[in-house]
Chains A and B, each alone.
Chain A
Amino acid sequence: MSPDASHALAPELLATRIASLPALPSVATSLLRGFDEPDADLAELARQIAADQALAARALRISNSPFYGQRGRIDSIREAVVVLGFRAVRSMVVSAAVVRSLSAVGALQDFDGRAFWRHGVGSAVAARQLALLCGHNPESAFTAGLRHDVGQLVLAVTCPQHCAAVQAWRSAHGDAQTAAEQHVLGLTHAEAGAMLAAHWGLPARICAAIALHHSSLAAAHPLAALVHVGDVLAHGLGLASGEDEAVPPLDDAVWDALALDSAQLSGTLGRIETEFEDTLDALID
């Protein structure tokens, strides 16, 4: 479907505007650079994290949240790395950094920031629990899940008039968000989010997970598949705004690719809700 010519959004224009958004804190960039390095210098990375006091404080708050069962027992980044593992601490720090950078854009007209973050955390927690069921890396799933819809914020910040046109189209035609974006803008929030992720230097598989989270192609990318199902599950549980949330389509091929056991998934839903509340309190002000 060709976009509505009056509000079509050229990728080059969007890329220019993305370049003006707040950067990630340097410590997050360092952590992401070593995302897939098994022999990273943990002591050096712990030192870098500790040097950014606001991020370190947030990471400790998450480390001491009920989910990790360490209530108040962890009082340094070094200790958090030893007790919880480097991947978990890195996920916390990078997540806190993303929240901080994106929160810096301030309140936006016609954009529900509270629901945005609640859905991000809900999808992150759901993706992490799904990863545990499927034998994938839970912290990568959390990291990707938290920012999968970052493109919605990108569009709201950089192109508010285009977003208003998308919402008007939805109201008039009843289309789902992604379909309306494709029709009006010629691109979707998934593509916009992937552009920001690439600009920030996030790992390629996280960029792919963001880009593909509404696509059947996610079936070939385990991280994207976890985010796709985690996203739908978070809506189904009403984690952003309650039990009346609209649930987007769940792709058959992606669902099959994860080969989830229905009984196990059912048993996980309560844990997702509990972990969601704990994580939300620790991560979002």
Chain B
Amino acid sequence: MPAEDARPAPAPPAPVDVQAVRERLERCFAGAGQGRASQALFEILLRYRLTRHGARR
């Protein structure tokens, strides 16, 4: 049997902890105020971080 076939299958990726990612970004935005623009950017960056963390799993 070829060596490649003997390798164990990779472990399934751990799920992204959405709440942890959100809370970490909320701490970054703690001094950004509650303005509409800051909130919009928060949501854009949150989606980006979730995608990026997902891609790195």
Which stretch of A52-60, A182-190, A238-246 is in the interface? A238-246
Of A248, A262, A269, A270, the residue contacting B31 (CB under 8 A) is A248
Contact (Cβ within 8 A) A252 B36:
yes
Distance of B41 from chain A, by nearest CB (Å): 5
B33: chain A residues within 8 A (beta carbon): 249
Residues of A with C-beta under 8 A to B40: 255, 262
Cβ distance A252 to chain B, nearest Cβ, rounded Å: 5
Is the beta-carbon distance between A246 and B38 smaller than 8 angstroms?
no
Instruction: Tell me the chain B residues, 16-57 only, with Cβ under 8 Å from chain A.
Output: 24-25, 27-33, 35-38, 40-41, 44-45, 47-49
Flag whether A112 is at the interface (Cβ < 8 A). Answer: no
Which residue from A235, A244, A248, A266 sits with its C-beta under 8 Å from B44?
A266
In the docked arrangement, what's the CA distance between A176 and B29, Å? 12
Per-residue contact bits, chain A 244-285, to B (CB 8 Å; 1 contact, 0 not) = 111111111011100000100110011000000000000000
Question: Which of A237, A238, A249, A270 is in CB contact (< 8 Å) with B38?
Answer: A249
Contacts A243-B28, A244-B24, A244-B28 given; indicate if A249 touches B48 (C-beta within 8 A). no
Q: Tell whether A233 is near chain B: CB-to-CB under 8 Å.
A: yes
Partner of B35, one of A236, A251, A269: A251
Query: Could you tell me if B37 and A262 are in contact, using CB atoms closer than 8 angstroms?
Result: no
Known contacts A243-B24, A262-B44, A266-B48: does B30 contact A250 (CB below 8 Å)? no
A: contact size bracket: 20 to 34
B-contact 0/1 string along A115-136, CB 8 Å cutoff = 0000000000000000000000
Question: Nearest Cβ in chain A — how far from B54, in angstroms?
Answer: 13
Any chain B CB within 8 A of the CB of A197? Answer: no
**Given the complex, which residues of B lie within 8 Å of A247, measured CB to CB?**
28-29, 31-32, 38, 41
| Interface residues, chain A, with chain B CB atoms under 8 Å away | 176, 232-233, 235-238, 243-252, 254-256, 262, 265-266, 269-270
Beyond A246-B31, A255-B36, A269-B44, 16 additional pairs, beta carbon < 8 A = A232-B32, A235-B28, A236-B28, A236-B45, A243-B25, A248-B31, A248-B32, A249-B32, A250-B35, A250-B38, A251-B35, A251-B37, A256-B37, A262-B44, A266-B48, A270-B48
What are some 19 contacts across the A-B interface (CB < 8 A)?
A: A233-B41, A235-B28, A236-B28, A236-B41, A243-B25, A243-B49, A244-B24, A244-B28, A246-B28, A247-B29, A248-B32, A249-B38, A250-B32, A250-B37, A250-B38, A252-B35, A252-B36, A266-B44, A270-B48
Minimum-distance CB pairs A-B, first 10: A255-B37, A250-B37, A249-B33, A250-B38, A252-B37, A236-B45, A247-B32, A269-B48, A247-B28, A249-B32
